[in-house]
Amino acid sequence: MARPILATGNLEPILRPTVNDIAREAGVSLATVDRVLNARPGVRAKTVKAVNDAIARLGYVRDLTAANLARSRNYRMAVLLPDTESQFIQSLAAALVEAGQAAAPSRTELRLIRFPAEDPHALAALLGSLSSRDLAGVALMAPETPVLRDAVRALRARGLPVVALVSDLPNADHFIGIDNRAAGRTAGVLLGRFLGGGPGQVMVLGQSLLARDMIERRRGFDEVMQRDFPGLEVLQSLETHGSPTTLRQVVTEMLANAPRVRGIYAMGGGNRTLTQVLGEMGLSGKLTVVCHELTPHVRQALLTGEITAVITQNLGHLARSTLRVLRAKADNQPLDESQEQIRIEIVLRENLPDLPAPASAARIDRVA
Amino acid sequence: MARPILATGNLEPILRPTVNDIAREAGVSLATVDRVLNARPGVRAKTVKAVNDAIARLGYVRDLTAANLARSRNYRMAVLLPDTESQFIQSLAAALVEAGQAAAPSRTELRLIRFPAEDPHALAALLGSLSSRDLAGVALMAPETPVLRDAVRALRARGLPVVALVSDLPNADHFIGIDNRAAGRTAGVLLGRFLGGGPGQVMVLGQSLLARDMIERRRGFDEVMQRDFPGLEVLQSLETHGSPTTLRQVVTEMLANAPRVRGIYAMGGGNRTLTQVLGEMGLSGKLTVVCHELTPHVRQALLTGEITAVITQNLGHLARSTLRVLRAKADNQPLDESQEQIRIEIVLRENLPDLPAPASAARIDRVA
DNA sequence: GCGTTTTTGAGGTGCGTACCTCAAATTTGG
DNA sequence: CCAAATTTGAGGTACGCACCTCAAAAACGC
C-alpha cells in the first residue's frame, strides 16, 4: 500500500538561489522581494529594478512546486468535445480521461464536457457560462463559426486560456493537432507511390468539405498528386455528411461509374462503413486505401489488409499535450514547442503499435 | 524578468486527504503515520495495518512535490554514450542536454558522460565508479558484452536503476528505444511497395552485424521481404564497420556486380558516405533508398530525393522519456507505458517535420 | 508486580513560497 | 519643516510532508 519513496540514498544538494538569497543580494527585505515577485503594489520603481537585477544576477527561478504548494493551487481544466459517437471522438475522450487521471497527482483535474455537435449557439452559450473562478483553462474541438469566434474571444478576455483541439481555431491561444495540409500531402505520396504512379483513378471521401481540417487535407493531397503523380486521375471529392447511408450510396455509385479506381483516400470518418461496403462489393484488399485516425476498427482493417495505410496522430500524446499546454498557459509559462508538436504518423500493418494496455492496471517492469 | 504566476483567480480547492486525515481516520498520531509511510522501524504490525487500512479507505496518495520539497530531494542522472562522432550520437546528445535543461526546474540534473566506444572494460570500470550516493539513476547506450552485463548487475545491486538506450540490454531495468524488428519490417514494406514488388535486387548495408539492434532490423526486414515480396532478391548484408572507406569500397563493388539493384536498405550509420558514393556514380534519386535516423544530413538528402524514406525515432521524445523513466524508477513509482513507448516514425519528404527551433529561445505563442 | 523493552504521542523544525498584519522608516506635498 | 502619504521591514501563518527528540504509555519478561 504505502511504500517508502526512495531506495537510493539522498544526494548532495544541487543548490539553487531562493527568495532569501534575492533579498540579501538586493539589500531589501523578504517582504519586498515577495511584493515584486507577485506584482503586489506599493514598491518604488527603483526598488523593483534592484530586485529584478538581483534575480537576474543570481539566475533565480521560482520553485513552482513550492509556490503551488503554498497557494494550494490546482488546475481544473474543461475539455469540450462534440457529442458525436464516432470512434475517433470516443478514443479521444478516453485518452483525455486517462491523461486526466495520470495528472491528478499534480493537482490537475480534467472535466470532459460534451456539446451538441450541430448547434453552434448552444456551444457559444456553454462557453459563456464558464468562469475563470472555477477553471484554469479550456480546450475545445469544434468547427469554426462566427458565434464561436466571439465566444472564444470573450473567454480569453476573461483571462481563461483557450486551446483548439484537432481542428484549428484562429483566435485560440494555441492549436494542438497535426498539420493537416502536410497530412494530406503524406496521404498523397503514399497512394501515389503504392500505386506505382499510375495509371488509374483515385477516389476521395470526406465528411464535410467545410471543416477546416478537411479543406487543408484535400489541398495538401491535390498538391502532391498534381505535381508528382500526373498519371493518376483524382476524382471529385464525395461528401458523406457523417451519414453511413450517404456514404454507402455515393461509394457504390462512384465505383460503378469509374471502373479504373485503384485507390481511395478517406479524409474523414466513416471508415467502418467504407470497409463494409468494399467487402460487400468483393473489393476488400484489392484497392489501396489510405485513411485517417487509428481507431479500433481501422486497426483491424489494417491487419486484414482492407486498409493499406493510416495517417494518424497519437491520441495519448495529444491528450497529455493538451494538459501540459493548458497548464503552461494558466501559469503564464513558456512551453516546449518541440514536445508539443503532434507528429503525423504513418501506420502500416507492419509498424502497427501494440494495443495500449488498459489504463488502470499499472504495469510492473522487469525486476532483477 | 519576474512575472506573477497567475492571471486567473484561484479555484475552489480540490480536496485530497493528507497525512493528518490518515492519523485521525486510523486513530493514531501523526508520528506513527509518518513511521509507516516512510517505513521507519518501531511500529507494531497491528498498527501498521490500521494505518494502511485508513490510507486505503481514504484513497490517500502522497503529494510527491511536497515530499520532495521537504526532503530537498533532487535527481542527478548519468547518461553514458559512446564517444563516437556520428551525427546520430551528436543529435542524441543534444536532445539529452536540452531535456536536461528543461527538467532543471523539477530538480533534475543530467550528466552526460562519454566513454571509449571500443573498450568494454573501460566502460565497465566507469560504471563501477558510479555511486548511488551521488546519482539517482543511469542511462546507457552500449552494445552488450559479458563485462557490461556484470557491471550493470552490480549497479542495480547497489540500488541504482539502469535503463538501456537505443539498443537493448537484457538485464537493464528498462529499455528506451524502438522495436528494431518492427522497424526492419517497416523498412521492408516501404522498399517492397515503393518498388512495386519487383522485379529487382535490394542491397542491405549495416555497420556491424553483431549489435543487437542491427540483428533485429535485418531479421524483421527479411521476414517481410520473403513473405510479401518474393519478386525482389535481397542481397547479402554488407558490413561497413563504421568506416567510410570500407563503405565506399563495398558499395561500389556491389553495384558494379549487381546491375539489377533498384533499392538499398541502410540499417546503420554511414548515410552521409552512402549518398556521396551514389552521387559520384550518377545514381542520385535513381534508386529507392530507405535508411534510419533523421540526422541533419538525411533531412537534406530526403529533400533532394537522394533518400526516399527514413525510419526514425523522435530523439526529443527519447530524451524526455529517459528522464521520466529514470525518475520513476528512482522514486519506485509505476510508469505510464503508453507515454514511454517510442514510436517507429516513417519520414518522407512530404511529412518531414519542421526543423526544431534552437533550444534556448523560448517561443512566444499567439497573443490576443 | 516490577523493571525493562518496545511502541506511541506530542511537539518542534525545515523545505521554498504565498500572503497577511502592523509598525517603522522614508519620501512627498505644501 | 511638518504632517500626510507612501514605501519598506519584521514577523507570523500556512501548504503537505520528512525527520528529529523526548517523554508517556503500553506491552513484555520473569
Range of A210-219, B158-167, B354-363 with top mean pLDDT: B158-167
Closest C-alpha among A345, A312, A334 to residue A174 = A334
Closest nucleotide to B13: CA versus each C1': D15
Predicted confidence (pLDDT) at residue B70 exceeds the cutoff of 80: yes
HSE (side-chain half, CA atoms, 13 Å) at A69: 14
Mean pLDDT of A46-54: 96
Asked whether residue B365 is assigned to any structural domain, the reply reads no
Q: How large a percentage of chain A has pLDDT more than 70?
A: 92
Taking only the tens place, the pLDDT of each residue in B208-253 is: 766 788 889 999 999 999 998 999 999 988 888 878 898 999 999 9
Domain that holds residue A308: 180-312
Per-residue pLDDT band for A364 (boundaries 50, 70, 90) equals very low
Name the one residue in this structure whose C-alpha cell is 509518518.
B34
Q: How far apart are CA A117 and CA B110, in angstroms?
A: 47
Q: B274 pLDDT exceeds 60?
A: yes
Interface test with B, best of A11, A134, A321, A327 (most B CBs within 10 A): A11
The verdict on a CB contact (< 8 Å) between B39 and A4 is yes
Asked whether residue A9, judged by its CB, lies under 7 Å from any atom of the DNA or RNA strand D, the reply is: no
Exposure string of A162-194, with b = 16+ CB inside 10 Å and e = fewer, is: bbbbbbbbeebbbbbbbbbbbbbbbbbbbbbbb
The more confidently predicted of residues A212 and B1 is: A212
Q: Among A345-354, B132-141, B180-189, B320-329, name the one with the lowest average pLDDT.
A: A345-354
* Best A365, A366, A367 residue to mutate vs chain B (most B CBs within 10 Å): A365
Nearest CB neighbour to B2, from listed A12, A37, A345? A37
Orientation angle between helical segments A87-103 and A296-304, nearest 10 degrees: 120
Q: Which residues in chain A have their CB less than 8 angstroms from residue B198's CB?
A: none
Q: Specify the DSSP class assigned to residue A137.
A: E
Q: List protein-proximal bases of chain D (any atom < 7 A from a CB).
A: 6-12, 14-21
Residue B305, in any domain of the structure = yes
B-chain residues near A338 (CB < 8 A): 316, 356-357
Band of the pLDDT at A9, cuts 50, 70, 90? very low
| Strand C protein footprint, C-beta under 7 A | A 16, 18-20, 30-31, 34, 37-38, 60, 62-63, 66-67, 69-71; B 5, 10, 27-32, 35, 41-44, 46-47, 66, 69-70, 72
Regarding whether B324 and B278 lie in a shared domain, the answer is no
Q: Look at the block and give the residue holding cell 464516432.
A: A86
Q: What is the mean pLDDT of residues A221-250?
A: 90
C-alpha cell at A284: 476488400
User: Using the beta-carbon criterion (under 8 Å), do A11 and B69 form an inter-chain contact?
Assistant: no
Q: Which position has the grid cell 562522432?
A: B85
B63-to-A107, A132, A191, B56, B155 alpha-carbon distances in Å: 9, 25, 51, 15, 29
**Helix, strand or coil, per DSSP, at residue A266:** strand
Whether A160 contacts A234, CB under 8 Å: no
Domain co-membership, B197 together with B273: yes
What does the alpha-carbon distance between residue B269 and residue B249 come to, in Å, rounded to a whole number? 16
Closest by CA to A356, choosing from B362, B354, B310, B339, is B339
Half-sphere exposure (Cβ direction) of A354: Cα atoms closer than 13 Å:
12
Distance CA B337, CA B341 (A): 6
* Nearest CA-CA partner of A109 in A121, A122, A99, A95: A99
Could you tell me the pLDDT band of residue B366, with boundaries at 50, 70 and 90?
low
Q: Are A169 and A175 in contact (CB under 8 A)?
A: yes
Nearest neighbour of B107 by CB, restricted to A4, A10, A14: A14
Q: From the CB of residue B366, how many other CB atoms can be counted at a distance below 10 Å?
A: 10
CATH number for the domain that contains residue A241:
3.40.50.2300
Task: Name the more confident of B36 and B246.
Answer: B36
B323 and B251, same domain (yes or no): no
Q: Kindly state the cell numbers that stand for A65.
A: 512546486
Domain co-membership, B205 together with B322: no
Distance A11 CA to D25 C1' (A): 38
What average pLDDT does the structure give for chain A? Answer: 88
- End-to-end alpha carbon distance in chain B: 21
Nearest of A164, A106, A97, A115 to residue A316 by alpha carbon: A97
Do B197 and B231 form a contact (C-beta atoms < 8 A)?
yes
Last residue of one domain, picked from the residues A312, A329, A351: A312
**Contacting residues of A for B197, CB less than 8 Å apart:** none
Look at residues A11, A29, A62 and tell me which one is the last residue of a structural domain: A62
Q: Tell whether B158 and B185 lie within a shared domain.
A: no
Same domain, yes or no, for B160 and B224? Answer: no
- Selection from B256, B190, B274 nearest residue A189 by Cα: B190
Handedness of CA A189, A195, A200, A205 (dihedral sign): negative
Task: Give me the pLDDT at residue A99, please.
Answer: 95
Instruction: Judge contact between B329 and A317, C-beta under 8 A.
Output: no
Indicate whether B236 and B329 sit together in one domain.
no
**Among the partner residues A107, A160, A194, nearest to B14 by beta-carbon distance:** A107
Reading the block at residue A316, the C-alpha cell is: 495519448
Give A115's contacts (C-beta < 8 A, 6+ positions apart).
A80, A81, A82, A83, A122, A123, A126, A142
For residue A134, give the C-alpha cell.
472555477
Q: How far is A179 from chain B (nearest CA, A)?
A: 9
Domain membership flag for residue B84:
yes
Q: Is the pLDDT of residue A357 over 60?
A: no
Residues A105 and A142 in one domain: yes
* pLDDT above 60 (res B368): no
pLDDT value at residue B329 = 95
Whether A194 and B348 have beta carbons less than 8 Å apart is answered as no
Average pLDDT over residues A25-46: 95
Q: Is residue B355 domain-resident?
A: no
Residue nearest D5 (alpha carbon to C1'):
A42
Quick one: pLDDT at residue B10? 47
H-state helical runs in A61-139? 64-71, 87-103, 120-129
Domain annotation covers residue B135:
yes
Residue B100 cell numbers, joined: 536536461
A31 Ramachandran zone, left/alpha/beta (phi>0; psi -120 to 50): alpha
Contact A338 B320 (CB under 8 A): no
B209 shares a domain with B166: no
Q: Is residue A111 one of the residues assigned to a domain? A: yes
Three-state SS for B217-264 is: HHHHHHHHHHHHCCCEEECCCEECCCCHHHHHHHHHHHHHHCCCEEEE
Given an 8 Å threshold on Cβ–Cβ distance, is A2 in contact with B331? no
pLDDT at B2: 54
Q: What is the model's pLDDT at position B338?
A: 85
**Under a CB-based contact definition with an 8 Å cutoff, are residues A146 and A191 in contact?**
no
Last residue of a domain, which of B36, B62, B88? Answer: B62
What is chain A's alpha carbon radius of gyration, rounded to the nearest angstrom? Answer: 26
The number of folded domains in chain A is 3
Task: Give the Cα separation of B213 and B218 in Å (integer).
Answer: 9
Cα of A245 to nearest chain B Cα, Å? 33
Query: Which of A55, A132, A338 minimises the CB distance to B316?
Result: A338
CB < 8 Å to B136, chain A: 8, 11
Lowest-pLDDT range, B54-63, B113-122, B168-177, B191-200?
B191-200
- Please calculate the CA angle B213-B183-A166 and round it to the nearest 5 degrees: 135
Answer yes or no: is pLDDT of B116 > 80.
yes
Residue B260 lies in a domain: yes
Per-residue confidence (pLDDT) for residue A192, from 0 to 100: 92
The answer to whether the CB atoms of B9 and A133 lie below 8 A apart is yes
Q: Do A165 and A223 lie in a common domain?
A: no
User: Are A259 and A191 in the same domain?
Assistant: yes
Q: Which residues of A touch B74 (CB under 8 A)?
A: 11, 13-14
Question: Percentage of chain B with pLDDT > 70?
Answer: 92
Helix or strand holding residue B100 (H, E): helix B87-103
Same domain, A116 and A31: no
Residue of A52, A186, A357 lying closest to B348 (CB–CB): A186
Q: Cell triple for residue A311?
A: 495517417
Inside any domain, residue A354: no
At A12, the pLDDT band (50, 70, 90 cuts) reads low
The rounded mean pLDDT for chain B is 89
Instruction: Note the pLDDT tens digit of each residue in A118-142.
Output: 899 999 999 999 988 889 999 999 9
Backbone torsions φ then ψ of B227, nearest 5 degrees:
-75, -45
Mean pLDDT of A146-170: 94
| pLDDT at res. B269 | 78
CA separation for the pair A312, A33 (Å, rounded): 49
Indicate which CATH number applies to the domain containing A25. Answer: 1.10.260.40
Q: Does position B9 have pLDDT exceeding 80, yes or no?
A: no
